[in-house]
């Protein structure tokens, strides 16, 4: 099975990692039992640009799905990191302080943002999208953006 689903717009290749779950806000969650690793999707990192600064809540902080657990600043925008799951942050990716570009270079791997101990994984799974469904959503978002740009 392919590791990624892909779609292309102009020269840009947008990827969705198979096996992860996705939120409507373009964040992913890799759920393993009661732990989830979360990060930005390829679509989000490409549309926002190169990450300059990142701030997150401290480990130990409870978060709810849909709530902000930090902020990212790129040259184009400052935006919230919206948690795709509910639980408690247990670890933040310390590599990102010195190397925030990992979010751009490897959004589904080395660019992970934090690990969250889940309150109820089954509830989160019901709210999140499988890779194929997120791919469909992503294509709609890309088409909408293209229409805005080119009419």
Partner 1 sequence: MDNKAKKVAVLACSGIGKAFGALARETTYELVERVRPNTAVTTCLALLVIGDPEAKRLVTENPVITIDGCAKECAKKSIESQGAKVAKAYQAMNFFKKHKDLKPEGISELNEAGQKLAAIAADELGEVVDELAAKEDR
Partner 2 sequence: MMANEVPYVGIISCSGEGLPEGTLSLVACRQVLEDLRPGNSVTMCLPLFIAGGLEERTFAAKYPTITVDGCEKRCAAKATEKLSGKPTRSLIIPEILKKRGLPRPIKMRHLGKEEKTAAQAVAEEIAKAIDEVLEKA
What are the residues binding partner 1 (CB under 8 A)? 49-50, 52-53, 75, 99, 101, 104-105
The minimum distance between CB 103 and partner 1, in angstroms, equals 10
Return the closest-CA partner of residue 128 out of 25, 45, 3, 43. Answer: 25
Cβ proximity to partner 1: between 24 and 104 the closer is 104
3-state secondary structure of 6: strand
DSSP E strand boundaries for 66-129: 68-74, 78-82, 87-92, 114-118
3-state secondary structure of 87: strand
Cβ proximity to partner 2: between 13 and 90 the closer is 13
The minimum distance between CB 52 and partner 1, in angstroms, equals 6
Which positions touch partner 2 (CB under 8 A)?
8, 10-13, 146, 149-151
Binding partner selected for residue 1 from partner 1, partner 2, none, CB under the kind-specific 5 to 8 Å limit: none
Binding partner selected for residue 150 from partner 2, partner 1, none, CB under the kind-specific 5 to 8 Å limit: partner 2
The minimum distance between CB 48 and partner 2, in angstroms, equals 17
Return the closest-CA partner of residue 52 out of 87, 35, 69, 76. Answer: 76
The minimum distance between CB 102 and partner 1, in angstroms, equals 8
Which helix (H) or strand (E) segment holds residue 42: the answer is helix 42-48
Binding partner selected for residue 105 from partner 1, partner 2, none, CB under the kind-specific 5 to 8 Å limit: partner 1
């Amino acid at each position: 099975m392919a590791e990624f689903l892909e779609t292309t717009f102009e020269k840009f290749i947008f990827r969705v990692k198979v096996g992860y779950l996705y939120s409507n806000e373009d964040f992913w969650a890799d759920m393993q039992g009661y732990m989830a690793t979360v990060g930005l999707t390829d679509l989000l990192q490409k549309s926002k640009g190169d990450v300059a600064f990142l701030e997150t809540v401290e480990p130990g902080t409870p978060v709810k799905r849909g709530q902000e657990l930090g902020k990212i600043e790129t040259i184009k925008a400052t935006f919230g990191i919206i948690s795709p799951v509910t639980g408690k942050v247990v670890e933040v990716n310390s590599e990102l302080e010195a190397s925030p570009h990992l979010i751009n270079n490897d959004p589904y791997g080395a660019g992970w943002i934090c690990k969250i101990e889940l309150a109820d994984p089954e509830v989160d799974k019901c709210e999140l999208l499988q890779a194929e469904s997120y791919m469909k959503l992503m294509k709609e978002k890309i088409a909408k953006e293209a229409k805005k740009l080119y009419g």
